[in-house]
Amino acid sequence: MPSRFISIWFPNLATDHWIRIRPELYGIKFALAAPEHGRMVVKAVSEAARIMGIETNMVVADARAIFPALVVLDYEPEVALQALRALAEWCIRYTPTVALDSPDGLILDTTGCAYLWGDERAYLNDLVTKLGHAGYHIRAAMADTIGVAWAHAHFGRSGTVIPSGAQYNALLPLPSAALRLSSGTIEKMQKLGFYQIRNFIRIPARVLRRRFGPEITDKLSRALGYVQEFIDPVRQAVPYQERLPCLEPIVTATGIEIALQKLLEMLCTRLMKEGKGLRSGVLTCFRVDGKTQQIDIVTNRASHHVKHLFRLFELKIKTIAPGFGIELFILEAPEVEDIAITQGTMWDTTGGFENSAIAELLDAVTGRVGTGVIQRYLPDEHHWPERSVKLVTSLQEKPKIDWRTDRQRPVFLLPNPESIIVTAPVPDYPPTVFRYKDNVHYIDKSEGPERIEQEWWLQQGLYRDYYTVEDREGRRYWLFRLGPNPEDEDERKAEWFIHGFFA
């Protein structure tokens, strides 16, 4: 399938945007100006002012001499760039690949997208019509290459659809400036009578290169498709994506559910064929007023089970505000994982995370209470207790070591040990009393010490002597004394900390 591109040019981008944010300027003859070399120069002109003969790069004083009632406003280039970026985001409803063509244009990679509208002409007309209704003056064209599409958008007839493979003939009647050449090169060519591309396109490349430099042959090669031209999209396209346009805007929850069901069936069919499953999904709803609504889900285990994924999205459908209607749905899977195909058994007595029902139950709970509430930990190869576990994001990850069961450990472990004040008869003995958060605990029983040192290959420092103690109320705690390294000559006074609580 040949590549297809659309070039969109907004000749009055800055002034059209001003009219959108300040409707009272509609029909007013105004210009946007900025200081340049000590004088105010026109940078953008409204369509009404252009008809009166006001042009860009004209000095404001000269412009007012032509039309004294001209309204002059401050030109803010960053505002126009923001408006162009917003238009690029809006155009994502037509194709996932949209790039800026600064300062006043966009490039759309529409390969394989037009069939959703019937044909390419209907696709382009719909795009141009909606941008026109939004208040923008627009010129656009479609072709196999960016160069030809840009040339016809700027110098041809707006709305032109160049048939595939016809870029050579499409360039012939256009001026040399249509190749996006520098002003110096255009001036040289016009001096030699090369006003149209037909005048020099048949000249051998080596001759053109010797006379005008490599720029002209490079631009011609790109426009004719001999050299591929790349664009930098405003949003990277997600490989696993499905789109569903609507003949009529959807305004009901039932309609959203039907659209979601179709999208999930298409996406999961593709994932199943490729042996993959969804780990995160995003449903984006494009409304007719230009705004978007979005909901997302995550799964603890890769899945292409349509019913399960639909139930996860169903919990959030009520948060979607359709407004005047949704005209396009896009379902994306930003994160996917391989799904291992295993031999099934006649009955399952092992349970655990290998059971898909358990994984789906965890997904349902996560969807209701929020992400980050359910977490999975595995043992890690570290001595200090707070480092001996690690957080994992996948249910399929296997522990590299077994959980330690030869020593009793507290049910609740503080993420960071907290300092306590203790009383001990002998420095190396367990405490008889300790104070924690203004509460005094008298110890009846104790067990220890259990010495735990740091890994010497990670850092040097103090060792810990852990004690399991029980107070008079029967509550049990895990305390430790932080002592100096035996090789350290500075025998400072030991500090005590509480690190955990037993059930």
Residue 404: predicted pLDDT: 77
Residue 266: predicted pLDDT: 95
Residue 273: predicted pLDDT: 92
> Is omega for the bond preceding 449 within 30 degrees of 0, making it cis?
yes
- Can you name the residues that pair with 23 across neighbouring β-strands? none
Residues in contact with 64: Cβ distance below 8 Å, sequence separation at least 6, in sequence order: 70, 72
Instruction: Name residues of the chain where pLDDT drops below 70.
Output: 1, 340-356, 358, 360, 367, 370-372, 395-396, 427, 484-493
pLDDT tens readout for residues 208-221: 999 888 999 999 99
Domains 5-61+75-159 and 241-366 share a fold: no
How many other C-beta atoms can be found within 10 angstroms of the C-beta atom of residue 474? 8
Domain 241-366 homologous superfamily, CATH: DNA polymerase, Y-family, little finger domain (3.30.1490.100)
What 8-state DSSP symbol labels residue 83? H
Dihedral of CA atoms 380, 381, 382, 388 in degrees, nearest 10, equals: 20
State residue 223 phi and psi, 5-degree precision: -65, -35
pTM for the whole thing? Answer: 0.67
Q: Strands, DSSP E only, in 342-494?
A: 376-379, 389-392, 412-423, 433-436, 439-452, 463-471, 476-483
Residue 329: predicted pLDDT: 94
How many other C-beta atoms can be found within 10 angstroms of the C-beta atom of residue 75? 20
Which fold, 5-61+75-159?
Alpha-Beta Plaits (3.30.70)
What 8-state DSSP symbol labels residue 182? -
Any idea where the domains of the chain sit in the sequence? Answer: 5-61+75-159, 169-224, 241-366, 412-501
Q: Edge to edge, what strands does the sheet with 326-338 contain? A: 241-250, 326-338, 276-287, 292-303
Residue 224: predicted pLDDT: 93
Residue 280: predicted pLDDT: 92
Q: Are 396 and 342 in contact (CB under 8 A)?
A: no
